[in-house]
Amino acid sequence: MHLKPMEATVGPLFPERKPTGEGILPSQEIIDLVETGKVSADDAVTEDQIQPSSLDLRLGHEAYRLRASFLPGKSTTLLNQARANGMLVETIDVARGALLEPNAIYVIPLMERLDLPPDVYGIANPKSSTGRLDIFTRMIPEFGGEFERVPRGYNGGVYIEVVSQTFPILVRAGMRLNQIRFGRGRRTAVGEDRLKLLGQNDGLIFPNEDSSHATVDRGLRLTVDLEGSGSGVVGYRAKKTAQPIDLGLLNHYDVDDFWTPIDKGEECILAPGEFYILASKQRVRIPPDLAAEMLPYDVSTQEFRVHYAGFFDPGFGYGQSGEIPGTRAVLEVRANEMPILLEDDQFVGRLNYYSMAARPEKVYGGSIGSNYQQQGLALSKQFKRDQFASGAAARAAEFATAR
């Protein structure tokens, strides 16, 4: 189903828009933004781009390789700034596919254009599969002074900066590497009192033998699992390889060609410049009236990062009415300047929860094609799923027994 902008009519400024309250806008209001032309594209926005609380953004038909990244500015367009500064090295046609080399910097115009209402802002982040391939992305407004942020009332195009830090990748126009969520009102995390109440009544995590209750301290505390959950493999370290990954191929690549497994009991020392996939000890649950964002355990030190995507849709690990037995958060880990020893159950990050403006008509889960509901230690969807353990069936059976 294609969502096409409505034709102009005489009447109210937003005749079909149904504003909800303050908070992150739900799927039904994102549809309204599309149908009223507040979000538009030459190739019509499709229904499967709309997630419970975000919109997938699509790569345009050209990519621009840059000598260096630079901060966006408000005085001129991004590409004019790149040309004026001598940053633009090469223009690449990605309509039918193009190879992006590791550690090279590319800027790609996105298909979508924004004409936001004066009370609506946008925040972007990479999609989960993008982060799990060590692909660093950030959105850049055509006119704006900040990465990943779109100011209220913004009218203009948007770009994505892409740096694949480990693997060569093949991309094509129309692929989705990042997503944007829209909000209204103040962007304030849910307070500790409400989180503690949720932890008691609704379960911010699903209890097991490793973690029986949620620990709330400036958000939900997350720790790393190096003991495993039904598997001897507790993590993966990315290999340096010249073999490219085609982002359009799903369940395709052999895990062993790209990843070295980290076994239970093996010392886990994060080496600077290496990329790791690990999992949280906790099985996270996001009720449908909330969304969540992962933050590092200590923003001031930045010793290592534990997330790229970091955004959790309503219903993640929860479902429509609590039928999902929690889902482990996958940690996309990279040490910065020095080797770091990780130990089991070590504190590595927090989840901050944010209120939805309304409960979304879509929630995260299998019915809308979500790839990582009930995941365990999961690589990106390009790798053969039977070669890494998800443990979903075992967790579902355990949850059914507990209920």
CB 2 within 8 A of CB 35: no
Q: Provide the pLDDT confidence category of residue 399 given band limits of 50, 70 and 90.
A: very low
The CATH superfamily assigned to 192-402 is Deoxyuridine triphosphatase (dUTPase) (2.70.40.10)
Average the pLDDT over 153-163 and give the result. Answer: 94
Does residue 46 surpass a pLDDT of 50?
yes
Q: What residue segments make up the domains of the chain, in order of their start?
A: 12-184, 192-402
Instruction: Give the pLDDT of residue 372.
Output: 53
Instruction: Give the pLDDT of residue 58.
Output: 98
Instruction: Give the pLDDT of residue 69.
Output: 84
Sign of CA dihedral 179, 1, 287, 389: negative
pTM assigned to the model? 0.86
State how far the alpha carbon of 230 is from the alpha carbons of 138, 236, 260, 399, in Å. 35, 16, 19, 15
The token duo for 65 is: 């390789």
d(CA 132, CA 275): 9
d(CA 316, CA 324): 8
Spell out a b/e string for 182-212, using b for 16 or more CB atoms within 10 Å of the CB, else e: bbbeeeebbeeeebeebbeeebbbbebeebe
Domains 12-184 and 192-402 share a fold: yes
% pLDDT > 70, the chain: 82
The beta strand positions in 201-326, using DSSP E, are 220-223, 233-238, 245-246, 259-263, 268-270, 275-284, 290-296, 304-305, 311-312
Pairing state between β 220-223 and 347-355: antiparallel
CB 105 within 8 A of CB 69: yes
> In this predicted model, what pLDDT tens digit does every residue of 327-374 receive, in sequence order?
899 999 988 888 989 999 999 988 999 999 999 998 876 565 555 555
Residue 236: Cβ-neighbour burial (10 angstroms; 0-12, 13-18, 19+)? buried
CATH code: domain 12-184 is 2.70.40.10
% pLDDT > 90, the chain: 55
d(CA 402, CA 396): 10
At residue 360, the 3 state secondary structure works out as coil
At residue 196, the 3 state secondary structure works out as helix
Average the pLDDT over 111-128 and give the result. Answer: 96
